[in-house]
Chains A and B, each alone.
Chain A
Amino acid sequence: MIEYILNIAIISVYPFLFIGIINKIKAFWGGREGASVFQPLYDFIKLLKKGEVISSTTSFIFNITPSLNLAAVLFAGLFVPLINQKAIISFEGDFILFAYILALSRFFSIISAMDTGSSFEGMGASREVSFSTLVEPAFFITIASIAALSGVNSFQNLSLILQNTGETGYLIIILSIVVIFMMILVEGCRVPVDDPNTHLELTMVHEVMILDNSGPDLALINYANSLKMILFSSLIANLMIPAGATLLNASICFTGIVLFLAILIGTIESGTARYRMTRLFEFIFLMSSVSLLILALTMIAIYESPVGVIK
């Protein structure tokens, strides 16, 4: 029971802190004091209190999308194990529903951007849909390989790989973390895929899609987006935390890993420039190649390893 309460607490608090820490780190590397780590939360509350300006071109789609987006991401959060490898709901094939419900939220954010009739938002929508299309196979290859290895067709107990496979297991975990981390950068729209702080609409991906959103709707979109990053981070955390850890240890490790990821993202953003739009495909294909490597290692682990065949 206490796990569920902790999970709900994580879903509601961590997303704001995550962005806050990234910004703090960026300020640190930039030699600035930076805003408080709670600033995203203050912004969220401020936006909720405001009114809205709605484009006269738009229809009901623009109206419902921010709420639907958040509902979809929260719903996806039900299947992701957070603390202590426990998801709120877990069943066979839950990661398929996870990926598809996120696709639903992407579908609506794209048509909502197109709903405004703005050429800039169309551009953002076109980019978002092109890049995310190619991310999908990499994610599925990774997850299917892990499922084949651990013998569990759900997000729950990801770290069973460690118990079931020998040294190859560690390698597979490391590579899976690489894939999922790259997914955080793509899905969370961070450098080098997308720059959340850019000032020119022509170079944006995610930010330009929400140009016309304001007030509470913008707050919901921002929250949903950072929650998505937390969900992917927790996948990474659960690959690393061993299954037998006590609740306290698992919580500390979880928080530590998420904190580390935030620091890493902030450092990457300070240290690298974003890629040229046409080169992003290469970045995404790097993900696919790593995922194919995971598949190859899975084959080795199942058919060659001294530990023998699972099941």
Chain B
Amino acid sequence: MADEFHLVEKSRIMDGTRMKRALSRLANEIVEHNQGAKDLYIVGIRRRGVPLAERLSDKIEQLEGVRPLYGILDITLYRDDLSTVGANPIVNRTELDTDIEGKTIVLVDDVLYTGRTIRAAMDQLMDFGRPKKVQLAVLIDRGREHRELPIQADFIGKVVPTKQTEIIKVMLKEFDDVEAVGIFERPAEEPAKQG
């Protein structure tokens, strides 16, 4: 993967305020769709899905007065490119402290692109038990034409049609200096790699 520092920001599609609004709307949609927060289990996918899942949990708690269950998935060991990449990626911890059996899981990630990350997350979830439903919430959907698996999101902050050479970066205060979403491009021609 090319050095992140060589990426050039082409345009900014969300600032902090708009991100906050998008998350509020997503929280509303999740609650409305599931008729409350009962048996709702918000699961963030590392890394950037985790703070987003936390914020969605906060907002759902404000709306419903109860905090949904909350967990973290690290999908590294479930990736389908482990045998092809030169150096396997870093493993972090999965934290699902409550049984997922019979729960409505809302997977949360920052960007939906090829769908392969979500496939890995679902495979891992199934190893933990049999949830009642699994839904997907993403802040940014890069568009169906990039999908390599039949996976779509149930809750979408914003659809951003992109080229393969472009990279969407969701910047969060937990990892970055700013709260924003931008489209970046690398100078080289190799296709962008994003979950």
Q: Is B one of A's binding partners?
A: no
A interface list, Cβ under 8 A from B: none
